[in-house]
Structure 1
Amino acid sequence: MIEAVKTAVKDMQEKMVSCRRDIHKHPEPGWTEFRTASLVAERLSELGYELRLGEEAIDREMMMGVPSAEKLAEEMQRAEKEGAKKEWLMQMTGGLTGIVAVKKFSEDGPVVALRFDMDANDVQESRASNHFPQQEGFCSLHGQAMHACGHDGHTTVGLAVAEILAAHQDRLKGTVKLVFQPAEEGVRGARAMVENGDVDDVDYMLGAHFGFKMKHTGTIACNVTGFLATSKYDIHFAGKPAHAGAAPEQGKNALLAAACAALNLHAIPRHSQGASRINVGKLIAGSGRNVVADKAYMAIETRGASSGINAFMEQEALRIIKAAAAMYDVEVQIEKTGGAAGGSNSPELASFLEAKAKELAIFTVVAEQCDFGASEDFSYFMERVQNHGGKAAYMMIGADLAAGHHDSSFDFDEKAMGYAANMLAYSVVSLLLQGEEI
């Protein structure tokens, strides 16, 4: 199978480049991936996969950081104008843009799942003459939206892997699940798919990302550790305005409540059992120099080396915010807009993947271990599968980068898609064909 996979990927390279550039040209941020998801659904349907869309794939109650109904409707209309088929769009109303594609093979075997994220960033893409997408005519057509993290490549690789598996379905055993996830940016989307039960029957779960700490095409890390659990919150304080000179006692100062909360949030003790983080990333308050501020807004996040440590930081943060509001006698509204679990690769699966990477003999470097040191909501899938007795692993596929992730000049070497498709397809085939557990 190894040569069959390599040949298939080689033959698909031009198709992958074309697909990636089309997706890059039409970027869609979290929960608005209507065109992208429709493209994915159309192709997977053609390949004979059983599709689960809409509320069959997403738990609506678990969605975080969803745009307004007006924004969703606007994005859906644009997707249709840009070629998305209405039959798919109607199943995604309300931002339900996740897809689970399932193919059961003729013989019993393990359930193997892969996650591919589809969303873009809220970034205005560079129009500099030396920016490759600008040079080649596939720059973003959408204002303040750009694939600045490589998810256009991830989605493309997912479709390539789907095609390879479908072509060899008569030789495979068990079941494959391809999870195309919305809203990874801001760690908003995975929980709604996990809580829907999408991976509860999975034995092996794989995820991958271009770049990060593997910055050169042809390199790979199969044992990624140190996912930081995180929680994201929007905080709105509502007080009462008053004339700051004539009647200050009649006001209730939301600005001071927010400032009090911000200072004391950074006073939460660090945790003895691992890394812990707190950050107030934004604080906007008040309306005028001579007015007691009646409103304030904060954007905050917590992080922890484990889900338990992050839960400690989260609970302390919420306690402090509520106490600050009570101290200044103002109302407070707390909205959770994102989150991810902590975790690390299952060691046995990581070792298996490392062996497969070496068998492929295409990588110049197969790193033994890579500390992630950040958050990615694949960790929700990882945690759920591991808690149900399965194994999960996340890989970093090396790619030469034009600029850092989320930068307006970001771009990645498109040859990296071939490396990723080889690695993921061969790993899945190997897991489906092997007769004994890892």
Structure 2
Amino acid sequence: MDELIKYAKENRRLLHQVPEVGFTEYITTYLIYERLSQTNFNLYVGDDALDIDRQVGLPSDDVMANTYQRALDYGVPCSFLEKLHPYKTGVVATIDTNQKGPHVVLRFDIDALPIKESNEIEHVPFKEGFQSKHDGEMHACGHDAHAAIGISVATYIDEHIDELTGKYTIIFQNSEEGVRGAASYAKKGWLDDADYFLSGHVGTISEEVGTVGATATNFLASTKFNVELFGQSSHAGSNPQDGNNALLAASAIALSLNTIAPHREGATRLNVGILQAGQGRNIIPDYAKLECESRGETTQLNEYMFERAKEIIENGAKMYGCESKITVEGFAPSATCSKEMIDIVKSATVSNDAVKTIVDEVSMDASEDAAVFINIVQENNGKATYLIFPYHLKYGHHHPSFDVDEAVLEVAITTFINILNELK
């Protein structure tokens, strides 16, 4: 176990240096694949791992070309990259004990965020020399730790295959940020006969290392969407009557979106995160873009928010003589973990010295596309949970100074292993 924990720390620090945002995780996929190649797992990448037709929110061709070249420069073989390009990053690993038992699916996300990492001396990755080498990209949410935990859990399964039963599928999923990745793996059928589904997250709340949330609650359904507005450009001084101002339309829409009434049946959210428009002070803008998201405590409440948003966007554009286009960039449903997993987690970890406290439920109040997997497994009469592994957060998730307390690696690895042994 000490070796597995040490291995996870090494892998986490390696992955932290090469963060890659969703659908560009070429280097990350290769590093995970290389480590899993040392086991007896069957490995699937590219078209064998996921269905590209289910993907949304894809990066531009320029981004894909630049990150492809970056991976080549890193040393990823061209023959391997060709299997992943474009948009087909991530790894699925399967193994069968050939002994009667459950099919357990585990999921670990692997993508990073478009954030420039802190270079303050107190920031541990900077101080200890494993900070991001990719300017403007950072593992600011702990997915480097998740991938490292997954590699160590897979190594354990491989080394103890004769002591286990059933079969195991481990999904190293791309593009969780923006809730864009899960559906393409689900479409491939990896969870269709799953008896149990396990996933989780380090951090999320600030508590003592050794605390484990057996289940997560309040997964908010979410739709990520972009809005484009097309107006008419003209000279702001001599011919203002000829212009249709897309910037004003965007501004009116942004303000009006925040007037959608809350719903009595539960929590709702809507945010306009980006508004881009304009070329100069004397030009009436003919184009504007907004990046937005809706959320709801249930899938139905999120649909309520998104449908109302569409009405506001379409009518707001017309008010300024503009055309509008709405593009969905990501979606996650709501989900509820299986209550039965609480007792299973408690029973499994009763002798685990790394686990100090089991909390039945931890509220997420956020969106997670693991919800896609949870719902599929439960619809097929399986059980699913999303575990939380807290530590004291000096800085929150998605912050340039975010860091993982590596003591949590032991808690997560041993908890997953305990559960696998409990379910066999």
TM-score interval for Structure 1 and Structure 2 normalised by the shorter chain: over 0.9
Mapped to 2, the partners of 1:222 and 1:185 lie a distance apart of: 23
Paired residue for 1:358, among 338, 350, 356? 350
Q: CA deviation at 1:66?
A: 1.6
Mapped to 2, the partners of 1:165 and 1:424 lie a distance apart of: 11
Which has the higher mean CA deviation after the structures are superposed, 81-90 or 51-60?
81-90
What SS does the corresponding residue of 2:204 show, helix, strand or coil? Answer: coil
Q: Counterpart of 1:88?
A: 80
- Contact (CA 8 Å) 1:223, 1:351: kept in 2 or not? no
2:11 corresponds to 1:19: yes
C-alpha deviations, 1:205-254, integer Å up to 9, x for none? 11111111143311111121111111111111011111223222222221
The correspondence of residues 122-271 of structure 1 with structure 2, limited to 5 A, is 122-271=114-263
Which has the higher mean CA deviation after the structures are superposed, 209-218 or 94-103?
209-218
Mapped to 1, the partners of 2:38 and 2:400 lie a distance apart of: 35
Q: CA deviation at 1:78?
A: 1.5
Which has the higher mean CA deviation after the structures are superposed, 220-229 or 243-252?
243-252
Mapped to 1, the partners of 2:128 and 2:254 lie a distance apart of: 46
Paired residue for 1:291, among 283, 287, 298? 283
Mapped to 2, the partners of 1:114 and 1:312 lie a distance apart of: 32
Q: Counterpart of 2:375?
A: 383
Q: Which amino acid aligns with 2:283?
A: V
Mapped to 1, the partners of 2:252 and 2:120 lie a distance apart of: 43
Mapped to 2, the partners of 1:311 and 1:291 lie a distance apart of: 37
Q: Counterpart of 2:98?
A: 106
Paired residue for 1:322, among 314, 328, 333? 314
2:53 corresponds to 1:53: no
Q: Which amino acid aligns with 2:15?
A: I
Q: CA deviation at 1:428?
A: 1.7
Mapped to 1, the partners of 2:150 and 2:79 lie a distance apart of: 22
Q: Counterpart of 2:265?
A: 273
Q: Counterpart of 2:302?
A: 310
- Ranges of 4+ aligned residues in structure 1 off by more than 4 Å: none
Structure 2 gap segments, 5+ residues each: none
Mapped to 2, the partners of 1:429 and 1:89 lie a distance apart of: 36
Mapped to 2, the partners of 1:195 and 1:312 lie a distance apart of: 26
C-alpha deviations, 1:356-394, integer Å up to 9, x for none? 233424322211221111112111111222222221100
Q: CA deviation at 1:278?
A: 1.2
Q: CA RMSD in A?
A: 1.6
C-alpha deviations, 1:272-299, integer Å up to 9, x for none? 2111111122222222333222111111
What SS does the corresponding residue of 2:69 show, helix, strand or coil? Answer: helix
Paired residue for 1:331, among 323, 335, 344? 323
Mapped to 2, the partners of 1:103 and 1:274 lie a distance apart of: 42
Q: Which amino acid aligns with 2:36?
A: L
Seen in structure 2, the aligned counterparts of structure 1 residues 195 and 319 have a Cα distance that, compared at 3 Å, is farther
Structure-1-length-normalised TM-score: 0.93
Q: How many residues align?
A: 424
Q: Counterpart of 1:5?
A: none
Mapped to 2, the partners of 1:68 and 1:265 lie a distance apart of: 27
Q: CA deviation at 1:310?
A: 0.6
- Contact (CA 8 Å) 1:402, 1:412: kept in 2 or not? no
Q: Counterpart of 1:117?
A: 109
Taking only the aligned residue pairs, the percentage that are identical comes to: 37
Mapped to 2, the partners of 1:162 and 1:365 lie a distance apart of: 25
What SS does the corresponding residue of 2:100 show, helix, strand or coil? Answer: strand
Q: Counterpart of 2:418?
A: 426
Q: Counterpart of 1:3?
A: none
2:34 corresponds to 1:42: yes
What SS does the corresponding residue of 1:14 show, helix, strand or coil? Answer: helix
Which has the higher mean CA deviation after the structures are superposed, 226-235 or 403-412?
403-412
Structure-2-length-normalised TM-score: 0.96
Q: Which amino acid aligns with 2:379?
A: N
Mapped to 2, the partners of 1:400 and 1:290 lie a distance apart of: 51
